Amino acid sequence: MKAETKDFYIEQDKMYVATDCIIFGFDAGKLKLLIFKRRVEPQKGAWSLIGSFVKLEENVSEAAQRVLTEITGLKNVFMEELKSYGVADRDPGYRCISIAQYALIRVEDYDRELVEKHGAHWYDMKEVPNLVLDHNQMVADALERLKRKARYQPIGFELLPEKFTIPQLQQLYEAIYQKELDARNFRKKVLSHNVLIKLEEKDKSSSRRGAFLYKFDHDTYQQLLQSGYNFEIS
Amino acid sequence: MKAETKDFYIEQDKMYVATDCIIFGFDAGKLKLLIFKRRVEPQKGAWSLIGSFVKLEENVSEAAQRVLTEITGLKNVFMEELKSYGVADRDPGYRCISIAQYALIRVEDYDRELVEKHGAHWYDMKEVPNLVLDHNQMVADALERLKRKARYQPIGFELLPEKFTIPQLQQLYEAIYQKELDARNFRKKVLSHNVLIKLEEKDKSSSRRGAFLYKFDHDTYQQLLQSGYNFEIS
DNA sequence: ACAAAAGTGTTTTTTGTACACCCATGG
DNA sequence: CCATGGGTGTACAAAAAACACTTTTGT
């Protein structure tokens, strides 16, 4: 949108629109959150979600992708709108509404150097410190959403490497649901959907015997979706 | 927020924030949508959702309630955020993001005179005309949300009168799911939740025999929620 | 007496849950 | 040879789905 674009709504109020990212990761059997030290006043230096103001000429979703790439070096990350936070006095800096988005990233992929350069850190979800503004609320809301959503859509796979084992997948779901699951029933349920491709390789990093690696079958999943199928885990 | 409030973010872009309401009703066995003729340029006079710009000193949700009350005379209506629409060029008037909210109202309650005065009309969901901007997309998204949500939360009752019959409730769910349901199984399922209070009165408007009226039991529902219970219909 | 919608139970099928042992391997 | 996590099957319980007839009453 160029500066000379006609403004039809001149008598109305304008405000800032920001986007904040709740970045989830999964490492060592635990759900993690990526946060960093706020770089602008007010509350400069306090722990905060990663965010940015939305520019006049960019989509809100683009702004979120931009900031995520800036901090992690990753592109094409799973990201979805959580909700807006629009209370009038939520930001003491000036009237600003924020569109929160949650992202699921594969912790093995991100650019560690870049992340460190931005003063960002991974926190265990159970040990998240106080964050600025309403960011703790955003995190709580995002976790709720993740719990609900992971059940009916195969988004959990976004947190795992391309190739993963069934026990790893189970660990992930146990971390999300905060509940232990029966290994036999879990395996049965997951495999019954026919959206996992079993590979020849094994991952031996967590047992002598090794566990077979699987890949998520996006194509088959898309086809099944067309025919009115419903994914569900647990 | 007063005019002299300090602005910490002065070098950033400001834009308009609007809210648009997808107003659902249920009448004569059909899902309905309330829309009206747009009052401002551009596209003045075209069919549009009801919306408003958010003012500097009001919450986004307050803005939505304000506009809903203006048009229907109703207060304390069920309303929930759908999602934001933040594509940069979505509004040819000027950069404006919209936070869409969907509302469920009891069609018997609204102020007909007020609605008519604003040039608003109820359309059958299956016959919604072309709307301005991305409003048709909002409607489609809201309908999807309603379908998913009605299954796991008792929000359908917001569309019915305080007192309703089981066949009416079934009609409503059939309209939402766009699918016929078995009357015996439906009744069994609904009553099994123990959140309906059976009244002595009958509604004879749709049969000679008449059907017993019920009320939704909000208190019991809240109690059940506490104890980890999950509502589900169909 | 009949048309039209309300109300009621049982059987079958599907899905979820609980549960215990053998397997493969590296050290 | 043994410790460790990987992998498998069955029986029982619960929930969902299919299905048909009787009741009520205004006209």
HSE toward the beta carbon, residue A109, CA cutoff 13 A: 17
A227-231, B62-66, B174-178, range with the lowest pLDDT:
A227-231
User: Which nucleotide lies nearest residue B207, CA to C1'?
Assistant: C5
- The answer to whether residue A40 scores a pLDDT higher than 90 is no
Q: Which nucleotides of C are covered by protein (CB under 7 A)?
A: 3-10, 16-20, 23-26
Q: CB-CB: which of A5, A13, A86 is closest to B59?
A: A86
Residue B131 banded pLDDT, cuts 50, 70, 90: very high
Task: Provide, in whole angstroms, the distance separating residue A234's CA from nucleotide D27's C1'.
Answer: 55
Task: Provide, in whole angstroms, the distance separating residue B31's CA from nucleotide D14's C1'.
Answer: 34
- The answer to whether residue B2 scores a pLDDT higher than 50 is no
Task: Look up the pTM and report it.
Answer: 0.95
Chain B residues with CB under 8 Å of A59 CB are 86-88
Instruction: Kindly report the number of other CB atoms within 10 A of residue A18's CB atom.
Output: 24
Predicted local confidence at residue A6, as pLDDT: 83
Summarised one tens digit per residue, pLDDT across range A133-177 is: 999 999 999 999 999 999 999 999 999 999 999 999 999 999 999
Predicted local confidence at residue B1, as pLDDT: 46
Residue with minimal CA–C1' distance to C18 is: A182
In chain B, % of residues over pLDDT 70:
98
Task: Provide, in whole angstroms, the distance separating residue B233's CA from nucleotide D20's C1'.
Answer: 24
B38-42, B126-130, B146-150, range with the lowest pLDDT:
B38-42
Summarised one tens digit per residue, pLDDT across range B25-46 is: 999 999 999 999 998 888 999 9
Summarised one tens digit per residue, pLDDT across range B155-165 is: 999 999 999 99
Do A15 and B93 lie within an 8 Å CB cutoff? no
User: Which nucleotide lies nearest residue B213, CA to C1'?
Assistant: C6
Residue B71, H or E segment:
helix B60-72
Token representation of residue B183: 């009357």
Mutation target vs A (from B5, B13, B38; most A CBs, 10 A cutoff)? B13
Using CA atoms of B14, B89, A77, A166 in order, give the dihedral in degrees to the nearest 10.
120
- The answer to whether residue A4 scores a pLDDT higher than 80 is no
If you average pLDDT over residues A23-50, what whole number do you get? 94
- The answer to whether residue B84 scores a pLDDT higher than 90 is yes
Predicted local confidence at residue B4, as pLDDT: 57
Q: Which residue of B has its CA nearest to A5?
A: B94
A47's CB contacts (< 8 A; 6+ apart) are: A35, A36, A37, A38, A129, A130, A131, A132
Predicted local confidence at residue B39, as pLDDT: 87
Q: Which residue of A has its CA nearest to B44?
A: A8
| Distance spanning both ends of chain B, measured CA to CA | 47
Do A89 and B55 lie within an 8 Å CB cutoff? no
Strand, helix or coil for residue B198: strand
Do B86 and A60 lie within an 8 Å CB cutoff? yes
Task: Provide, in whole angstroms, the distance separating residue A56's CA from nucleotide C21's C1'.
Answer: 64
Tell me whether residue B217 is exposed, middle or buried, using C-beta atoms within 10 angstroms of its C-beta: 0 to 12, 13 to 18, 19 or more. middle
Interface of A with B (CB under 8 A): 1, 5-9, 12-17, 40-42, 53-62, 81, 83-84, 86-89, 93-97, 99
A47-61, B3-17, B34-48, B113-127, range with the lowest pLDDT:
B3-17
Domains along the sequence of chain B with CATH: 16-151 (3.90.79.10), 160-225 (1.10.10.10)
Rounded CA separation B201/A206 (Å):
66
Do A88 and B57 lie within an 8 Å CB cutoff? yes
Predicted local confidence at residue B228, as pLDDT: 85
Q: CB-CB: which of B84, B95, B96 is closest to A84?
A: B84
Do A94 and B7 lie within an 8 Å CB cutoff? yes
Residue with minimal CA–C1' distance to C15 is: A189
Task: Provide, in whole angstroms, the distance separating residue A164's CA from nucleotide C26's C1'.
Answer: 22
Q: Which of residues 49-78 of A touch strand D (CB under 7 A)?
A: none
**Contact, A34 vs A115, CB < 8 A?**
yes
Summarised one tens digit per residue, pLDDT across range A66-116 is: 999 999 999 999 999 999 999 999 999 999 999 999 999 999 999 999 999
Q: Which residue of B has its CA nearest to A19?
A: B86
Predicted local confidence at residue A1, as pLDDT: 47
Chain A residues with CB under 8 Å of B94 CB are 1, 5-9
**Is the omega angle on the peptide bond into residue B129 within 30 degrees of 0, that is, cis?**
no
Instruction: Kindly report the number of other CB atoms within 10 A of residue A15's CB atom.
Output: 21
If you average pLDDT over residues A59-71, what whole number do you get? 97
Do A99 and B96 lie within an 8 Å CB cutoff? no
User: Which nucleotide lies nearest residue B181, CA to C1'?
Assistant: D17
